Amino acid sequence: MRRTSTVDTRGIYPQPNTQANLRLFCFPYAGGAARIFRTWGDSLPKMVEVCPVELPGRGKQIRLAPFTRLQPLVEALAQALLPHLDKPFAFFGHSMGGLICFELTRHLRQQYGLNPVHLFISGRRAPHLPARHSPIHGLPDSKFLDRLRRLNGTPQAVLENAELMELLLPILRSDFEVLETYIYTSESPLNCPISAFCGSDDPEAHPDEVGEWQMQTRTSFSLNTLPGDHFFLHSAEPSLLKIITQKLLHHISMIVHQ
């Protein structure tokens, strides 16, 4: 039986690095687990400690109930991550993960006066743009799966695995409910740079829509278009990590010389 929704950060450091100057917390897409970031520590600078965040209902948190609303999830994440924000940190999020780390950044600023040194948003339209699709999280299984295929927001190999989908369906429904019940509220722009990424052939996050993230920061912004569809973070991973490395090395240089 699943317990009440919460967030457990045990195992957040798959490759502990006490000498790191900066921590990069990574948030997955809908239905995704922390393991999608398992190799990032091998490619990013040694001064960066990669911290994949496992959301409830999957991976090592399979017995925890998934959240169905963003604000309670953000509040739980803030409480769980707070002890790990004792050194400079950055956030990376793909698709749903991008929205999570954006609202988490706003929550940390408001409640604790904390800001990441950089926010990396990947495969996600700007939050102030209106939704382009009607909600799907309440549809019957067959229609829900059909819409998932058409939205191209879940890997095809996952959709074709019946046993895996039986386990994933409740998680996917919960994740889509998080996204589809989200209501954007206007606040002052963030105090950290934002680097946004989009796939050249992503039907869910067009470059002009991803470029709208520029409105959410008072500092620097960059838009990076990489080859691929909605899951370009896998197919174009070397290019993605190269850009992230460049940005993080700049911050590390500033941290070291303070």
Burial of 235 (C-beta count, 10 Å sphere; 0-12/13-18/19+): middle
Identify which of 223, 245, 227 has the alpha carbon closest to the alpha carbon of residue 236.
227
Distance CA(86)–CA(194), nearest Å, equals 21
Instruction: Report whether 76 contacts 7 (CB < 8 A).
Output: yes
Please say if 95 is a catalytic residue: yes
Instruction: Report whether 200 contacts 229 (CB < 8 A).
Output: no
Other C-beta atoms closer than 10 Å to the C-beta of 122 total 28
Catalytic residue among 5, 95, 195, 220: 95
Q: In what helix (H) or strand (E) does residue 74 lie, and over which residues does it extend? A: helix 70-81
Identify which of 221, 216, 11, 204 has the alpha carbon closest to the alpha carbon of residue 105.
216
Distances in Å between the Cα of 51 and the Cα atoms of 37, 85, 97, 121, 124 are 9, 11, 14, 16, 21
The DSSP output letter for 199 is E
Residues with a catalytic annotation lie at 95
